[in-house]
């Protein structure tokens, strides 16, 4: 699994979240909603500290990651996090690998 954060999304996270040392933005699967590849589940995000990252990327001092425990949700897909300019919130694209 590969995690990609666009520059626009990275800027949004930098403005919206204040992180302590060691913390990052965790993406995970949560019940309710839907994605382009899941029905009944959507992408959640939280400020957290990585324990066993499945995917991890640092962009200009900000850490983004997915934990191994969420592999069930991201299995067979890469996650691209971008910014929806109209809604001013992150949007998620799943790319099959």
* pTM for this prediction: 0.90
**Fold entry, domain 3-96:** Hypothetical Protein Aq_1857; Chain: A; (2.60.300)
| Cα 65 from chain centre | 7
21 phi/psi in degrees, rounded to 5: -55, 135
The full length of the chain comes to: 97
Domain residue ranges in the chain: 3-96
- Give 77-93 pLDDT, tens digit per residue: 999 999 999 999 999 99
Q: What whole-number distance in Å separates Cα of residue 43 and Cα of residue 31?
A: 9
* pLDDT for 28 beyond 70: yes
> Distance (Å, rounded) from C-alpha 36 to C-alpha 93?
7
């Amino acid at each position: 699994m590969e995690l990609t954060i666009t520059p626009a999304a990275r800027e949004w996270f930098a403005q919206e979240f204040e992180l302590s040392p060691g913390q990052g933005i965790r993406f995970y699967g949560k019940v309710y909603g839907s994605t382009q590849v899941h029905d009944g589940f959507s992408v959640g995000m939280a400020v957290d500290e990585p324990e066993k990252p499945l995917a991890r990327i640092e962009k200009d001092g900000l850490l983004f990651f997915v934990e191994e425990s969420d592999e069930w949700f991201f299995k067979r897909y890469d996650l691209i996090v971008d910014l929806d300019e109209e809604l001013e919130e992150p949007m998620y694209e799943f790319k099959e690998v």
